[in-house]
Protein backbone atom coordinates (compact mmCIF):
# COMPACT_ATOMS: atom_id res chain seq x y z
CA UNK A 1 0.00 0.00 0.00
CA UNK A 2 1.29 3.46 -0.87
CA UNK A 3 2.24 5.48 2.22
CA UNK A 4 0.88 8.95 2.77
CA UNK A 5 4.21 10.62 1.93
CA UNK A 6 4.49 8.71 -1.33
CA UNK A 7 0.83 9.40 -2.22
CA UNK A 8 1.25 13.12 -1.59
CA UNK A 9 4.34 13.15 -3.76
CA UNK A 10 2.53 11.31 -6.54
CA UNK A 11 -0.33 13.81 -6.44
CA UNK A 12 2.10 16.72 -6.75
CA UNK A 13 3.85 15.08 -9.69
CA UNK A 14 0.60 14.36 -11.55
CA UNK A 15 -0.78 17.82 -10.88
CA UNK A 16 2.44 19.46 -12.00
CA UNK A 17 2.55 17.40 -15.16
CA UNK A 18 -0.97 18.54 -16.09
CA UNK A 19 -0.90 22.18 -15.06
CA UNK A 20 2.71 23.22 -14.43
CA UNK A 21 3.94 26.26 -16.32
CA UNK A 22 7.66 25.59 -16.12
CA UNK A 23 9.35 24.87 -19.37
CA UNK A 24 12.68 23.08 -19.45
CA UNK A 25 14.97 25.89 -18.33
CA UNK A 26 18.40 26.65 -19.68
CA UNK A 27 19.96 25.29 -16.50
CA UNK A 28 17.90 22.12 -16.72
CA UNK A 29 18.90 21.72 -20.35
CA UNK A 30 22.52 22.16 -19.29
CA UNK A 31 22.14 19.30 -16.82
CA UNK A 32 21.06 17.09 -19.69
CA UNK A 33 24.08 17.96 -21.84
CA UNK A 34 25.97 14.79 -22.78
CA UNK A 35 29.68 14.25 -22.41
CA UNK A 36 31.69 15.64 -25.30
CA UNK A 37 34.83 13.57 -25.85
CA UNK A 38 34.92 12.89 -22.11
CA UNK A 39 35.29 16.59 -21.28
CA UNK A 40 34.46 16.15 -17.60
CA UNK A 41 36.90 18.91 -16.64
CA UNK A 42 34.53 21.47 -18.14
CA UNK A 43 31.62 20.23 -16.05
CA UNK A 44 31.51 22.67 -13.13
CA UNK A 45 28.98 23.63 -10.49
CA UNK A 46 28.10 27.31 -10.32
CA UNK A 47 26.32 28.73 -7.28
CA UNK A 48 25.81 32.41 -6.62
CA UNK A 49 28.31 33.38 -9.29
CA UNK A 50 31.06 31.19 -7.80
CA UNK A 51 32.41 28.12 -9.60
CA UNK A 52 33.14 24.79 -7.89
CA UNK A 53 34.44 21.52 -9.27
CA UNK A 54 33.33 19.26 -6.46
CA UNK A 55 29.64 18.37 -6.31
CA UNK A 56 29.85 17.08 -2.76
CA UNK A 57 29.12 19.49 0.09
CA UNK A 58 29.92 18.30 3.62
CA UNK A 59 29.00 19.30 7.15
CA UNK A 60 31.16 19.70 10.24
CA UNK A 61 28.90 18.37 13.02
CA UNK A 62 28.50 14.99 14.74
CA UNK A 63 32.14 13.90 14.39
CA UNK A 64 33.82 12.07 17.27
CA UNK A 65 36.84 14.34 17.22
CA UNK A 66 38.28 17.39 15.53
CA UNK A 67 40.93 15.26 13.86
CA UNK A 68 38.30 12.94 12.39
CA UNK A 69 36.33 15.88 11.05
CA UNK A 70 39.42 17.43 9.48
CA UNK A 71 40.48 14.16 7.87
CA UNK A 72 36.97 13.60 6.52
CA UNK A 73 36.73 17.06 4.97
CA UNK A 74 40.08 16.47 3.28
CA UNK A 75 39.11 13.00 2.03
CA UNK A 76 35.79 14.24 0.64
CA UNK A 77 37.41 16.67 -1.76
CA UNK A 78 34.58 19.06 -0.92
CA UNK A 79 35.00 22.73 -1.73
CA UNK A 80 31.96 23.85 0.27
CA UNK A 81 31.80 23.12 4.01
CA UNK A 82 28.80 23.95 6.15
CA UNK A 83 29.09 25.49 9.62
CA UNK A 84 26.12 25.66 12.02
CA UNK A 85 26.39 29.19 13.37
CA UNK A 86 24.24 28.49 16.44
CA UNK A 87 25.95 25.22 17.26
CA UNK A 88 29.64 26.03 17.36
CA UNK A 89 30.91 22.78 18.85
CA UNK A 90 34.46 22.56 20.17
CA UNK A 91 35.68 21.03 16.91
CA UNK A 92 34.04 23.78 14.88
CA UNK A 93 35.43 26.52 17.10
CA UNK A 94 38.96 25.17 16.66
CA UNK A 95 38.37 24.85 12.95
CA UNK A 96 37.38 28.49 12.72
CA UNK A 97 40.61 29.39 14.49
CA UNK A 98 42.51 28.28 11.41
CA UNK A 99 42.55 24.48 11.18
CA UNK A 100 41.01 24.46 7.70
CA UNK A 101 42.64 26.20 4.77
CA UNK A 102 39.85 28.64 3.93
CA UNK A 103 41.65 29.68 0.77
CA UNK A 104 40.73 26.22 -0.59
CA UNK A 105 37.35 25.65 1.08
CA UNK A 106 34.30 27.90 0.86
CA UNK A 107 32.40 28.36 4.11
CA UNK A 108 28.64 27.84 4.03
CA UNK A 109 27.19 29.19 7.28
CA UNK A 110 23.83 27.64 8.07
CA UNK A 111 20.92 28.62 10.27
CA UNK A 112 20.36 25.21 11.87
CA UNK A 113 18.44 25.51 15.12
CA UNK A 114 16.34 28.46 13.99
CA UNK A 115 12.59 28.03 14.32
CA UNK A 116 11.34 31.28 12.78
CA UNK A 117 12.14 33.40 9.76
CA UNK A 118 13.26 36.32 11.92
CA UNK A 119 15.64 34.15 13.89
CA UNK A 120 17.12 32.64 10.73
CA UNK A 121 17.72 36.06 9.21
CA UNK A 122 19.59 37.24 12.30
CA UNK A 123 21.75 34.10 12.39
CA UNK A 124 22.46 34.46 8.66
CA UNK A 125 23.89 37.92 9.31
CA UNK A 126 26.11 36.51 12.06
CA UNK A 127 27.24 33.77 9.70
CA UNK A 128 28.26 36.27 7.07
CA UNK A 129 30.36 38.09 9.68
CA UNK A 130 32.02 34.80 10.70
CA UNK A 131 32.94 34.10 7.08
CA UNK A 132 34.70 37.43 6.94
CA UNK A 133 36.81 36.54 9.98
CA UNK A 134 38.31 33.56 8.10
CA UNK A 135 39.34 35.66 5.12
CA UNK A 136 36.24 35.45 2.91
CA UNK A 137 34.96 39.06 2.90
CA UNK A 138 33.00 38.48 -0.30
CA UNK A 139 31.22 35.40 1.07
CA UNK A 140 27.47 36.07 1.10
CA UNK A 141 26.35 32.43 1.16
CA UNK A 142 23.87 31.07 3.67
CA UNK A 143 22.25 27.67 3.96
CA UNK A 144 18.79 28.66 5.12
CA UNK A 145 17.05 26.38 7.61
CA UNK A 146 13.79 27.25 9.35
CA UNK A 147 12.70 24.20 11.34
CA UNK A 148 10.05 24.60 14.05
CA UNK A 149 9.33 20.86 14.24
CA UNK A 150 11.55 19.28 16.94
CA UNK A 151 10.48 15.68 16.29
CA UNK A 152 10.76 15.17 12.54
CA UNK A 153 12.90 18.27 11.82
CA UNK A 154 10.88 19.10 8.74
CA UNK A 155 11.44 22.60 7.30
CA UNK A 156 8.72 25.23 7.51
CA UNK A 157 7.83 26.11 3.89
CA UNK A 158 6.14 29.41 4.76
CA UNK A 159 8.91 30.59 7.05
CA UNK A 160 11.61 29.43 4.64
CA UNK A 161 10.09 31.31 1.72
CA UNK A 162 9.61 34.48 3.79
CA UNK A 163 13.18 34.40 5.12
CA UNK A 164 14.60 33.62 1.68
CA UNK A 165 12.91 36.61 0.09
CA UNK A 166 14.24 38.98 2.74
CA UNK A 167 17.76 37.56 2.69
CA UNK A 168 17.96 37.80 -1.10
CA UNK A 169 17.06 41.50 -0.81
CA UNK A 170 19.93 41.89 1.66
CA UNK A 171 22.36 40.51 -0.90
CA UNK A 172 22.70 36.92 0.34
CA UNK A 173 23.17 33.94 -1.94
CA UNK A 174 20.48 31.79 -0.34
CA UNK A 175 20.67 27.98 -0.40
CA UNK A 176 17.33 26.97 1.17
CA UNK A 177 16.79 23.59 2.79
CA UNK A 178 13.23 22.60 1.91
CA UNK A 179 10.74 19.80 1.48
CA UNK A 180 10.85 18.00 -1.88
CA UNK A 181 7.94 20.03 -3.19
CA UNK A 182 8.30 21.12 -6.83
CA UNK A 183 5.90 24.04 -6.36
CA UNK A 184 7.74 25.36 -3.30
CA UNK A 185 11.06 25.03 -5.14
CA UNK A 186 9.62 27.08 -7.96
CA UNK A 187 8.64 29.86 -5.54
CA UNK A 188 12.07 29.78 -3.89
CA UNK A 189 13.67 30.14 -7.30
CA UNK A 190 11.31 32.97 -8.21
CA UNK A 191 12.33 35.03 -5.15
CA UNK A 192 15.98 34.70 -6.18
CA UNK A 193 17.47 31.75 -4.29
CA UNK A 194 20.83 30.56 -5.59
CA UNK A 195 19.85 26.88 -5.28
CA UNK A 196 17.09 24.70 -3.96
CA UNK A 197 17.98 21.97 -1.44
CA UNK A 198 15.18 19.40 -1.22
CA UNK A 199 15.51 16.77 1.48
CA UNK A 200 15.96 13.16 0.47
CA UNK A 201 14.36 12.03 3.73
CA UNK A 202 14.31 13.40 7.30
CA UNK A 203 17.58 14.79 8.66
CA UNK A 204 19.89 12.16 10.10
CA UNK A 205 17.43 9.33 9.43
CA UNK A 206 19.59 7.43 6.95
CA UNK A 207 16.46 6.52 4.98
CA UNK A 208 18.02 7.50 1.68
CA UNK A 209 16.06 9.21 -1.09
CA UNK A 210 12.46 8.63 -0.06
CA UNK A 211 10.93 11.21 -2.40
CA UNK A 212 12.58 10.28 -5.68
CA UNK A 213 9.55 11.10 -7.84
CA UNK A 214 9.27 14.66 -6.57
CA UNK A 215 13.01 15.26 -6.64
CA UNK A 216 13.04 14.07 -10.23
CA UNK A 217 10.43 16.70 -11.13
CA UNK A 218 12.46 19.37 -9.34
CA UNK A 219 15.64 18.37 -11.17
CA UNK A 220 13.91 18.39 -14.53
CA UNK A 221 12.43 21.85 -14.16
CA UNK A 222 14.61 23.93 -11.86
CA UNK A 223 16.53 26.85 -13.29
CA UNK A 224 19.01 26.88 -10.39
CA UNK A 225 21.24 24.08 -9.08
CA UNK A 226 19.47 21.33 -7.14
CA UNK A 227 21.36 20.07 -4.09
CA UNK A 228 19.85 17.00 -2.42
CA UNK A 229 20.28 17.35 1.32
CA UNK A 230 19.44 15.20 4.37
CA UNK A 231 18.66 11.55 4.94
CA UNK A 232 21.47 10.10 2.85
CA UNK A 233 23.11 6.99 4.30
CA UNK A 234 25.18 5.23 1.64
CA UNK A 235 27.37 6.37 -1.24
CA UNK A 236 24.82 4.80 -3.58
CA UNK A 237 22.24 7.31 -2.28
CA UNK A 238 24.52 10.11 -3.43
CA UNK A 239 25.14 8.43 -6.78
CA UNK A 240 21.39 8.01 -7.27
CA UNK A 241 20.77 11.71 -6.63
CA UNK A 242 23.33 12.68 -9.28
CA UNK A 243 21.99 10.04 -11.69
CA UNK A 244 18.52 11.58 -11.29
CA UNK A 245 19.89 14.94 -12.42
CA UNK A 246 20.66 16.65 -9.13
CA UNK A 247 23.61 19.01 -9.38
CA UNK A 248 25.12 18.13 -6.01
CA UNK A 249 24.48 16.53 -2.62
CA UNK A 250 25.22 17.57 0.94
CA UNK A 251 26.26 14.86 3.40
CA UNK A 252 26.99 15.17 7.09
CA UNK A 253 25.57 12.38 9.30
CA UNK A 254 26.26 9.73 6.66
CA UNK A 255 29.96 10.53 6.92
CA UNK A 256 30.31 11.64 10.53
CA UNK A 257 28.42 8.66 11.97
CA UNK A 258 30.15 6.02 9.83
CA UNK A 259 32.61 3.69 11.57
CA UNK A 260 35.39 5.07 9.35
CA UNK A 261 34.43 8.66 8.61
CA UNK A 262 37.36 9.57 6.32
CA UNK A 263 36.84 6.35 4.37
CA UNK A 264 33.14 7.10 3.97
CA UNK A 265 33.95 10.65 2.90
CA UNK A 266 36.11 9.32 0.09
CA UNK A 267 33.42 6.81 -0.84
CA UNK A 268 30.88 9.64 -1.16
CA UNK A 269 33.36 11.63 -3.25
CA UNK A 270 33.74 8.76 -5.72
CA UNK A 271 29.99 8.03 -5.75
CA UNK A 272 29.16 11.64 -6.61
CA UNK A 273 31.70 11.61 -9.43
CA UNK A 274 30.34 8.30 -10.76
CA UNK A 275 26.73 9.43 -10.57
CA UNK A 276 27.44 12.67 -12.38
CA UNK A 277 29.56 11.00 -15.06
CA UNK A 278 26.87 8.38 -15.60
CA UNK A 279 24.17 11.02 -15.92
CA UNK A 280 26.10 13.06 -18.45
CA UNK A 281 27.01 9.94 -20.44
CA UNK A 282 23.31 9.17 -20.99
CA UNK A 283 21.96 5.85 -19.78
CA UNK A 284 20.82 3.14 -22.17
CA UNK A 285 17.10 2.98 -22.90
CA UNK A 286 15.00 0.52 -20.92
CA UNK A 287 13.34 -2.35 -22.71
CA UNK A 288 10.32 -4.44 -21.72
CA UNK A 289 12.00 -7.53 -23.14
CA UNK A 290 15.43 -9.11 -23.17
CA UNK A 291 17.91 -7.85 -25.76
CA UNK A 292 20.85 -10.10 -26.65
CA UNK A 293 24.18 -8.52 -25.90
CA UNK A 294 26.12 -10.79 -28.28
CA UNK A 295 25.61 -10.56 -32.07
CA UNK A 296 24.28 -13.57 -33.94
CA UNK A 297 25.67 -12.54 -37.34
CA UNK A 298 28.95 -13.98 -38.59
CA UNK A 299 28.75 -17.21 -36.57
CA UNK A 300 29.05 -20.64 -38.27
CA UNK A 301 25.61 -22.21 -38.76
CA UNK A 302 26.49 -25.27 -36.69
CA UNK A 303 26.94 -23.00 -33.63
CA UNK A 304 23.63 -21.22 -34.08
CA UNK A 305 21.51 -24.29 -33.41
CA UNK A 306 17.81 -23.51 -33.14
CA UNK A 307 18.45 -19.80 -33.58
CA UNK A 308 19.25 -20.40 -37.26
CA UNK A 309 15.85 -21.92 -37.92
Q: Which residues are catalytic?
A: 143
User: How wide is the angle at C-alpha 167 spanned by C-alphas 23 and 174, nearest 5°?
Assistant: 50
Burial of 229: CB neighbours in 10 Å, binned 0-12, 13-18, 19+: buried
Contact 102, 134 (CB under 8 A): yes
Return the beta strands (E) in the chain as ranges: 45-47, 50-52, 56-58, 80-84, 106-110, 141-144, 173-178, 197-198, 227-229, 248-251
Secondary structure of residue 203 in the 3-state scheme: coil
Q: For the CA atoms of the chain, what is the radius of gyration?
A: 21
Q: Determine the Cα–Cα distance for residues 276 and 241; give it in Å rounded to an integer.
A: 9
User: In 3D, which of 194, 188, 199 has the Cα closest to residue 225?
Assistant: 194
Amino acid sequence: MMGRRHLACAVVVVAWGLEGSWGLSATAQGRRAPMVNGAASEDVLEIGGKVFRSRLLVGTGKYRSQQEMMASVEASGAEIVTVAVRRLEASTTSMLAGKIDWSRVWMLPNTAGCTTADEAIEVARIGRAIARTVGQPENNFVKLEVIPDPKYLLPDPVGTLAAAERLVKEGFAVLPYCSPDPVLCRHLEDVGCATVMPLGSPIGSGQGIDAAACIGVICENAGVPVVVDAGLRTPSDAALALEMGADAVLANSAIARAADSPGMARAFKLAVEAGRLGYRSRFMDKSDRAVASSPMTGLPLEYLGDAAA
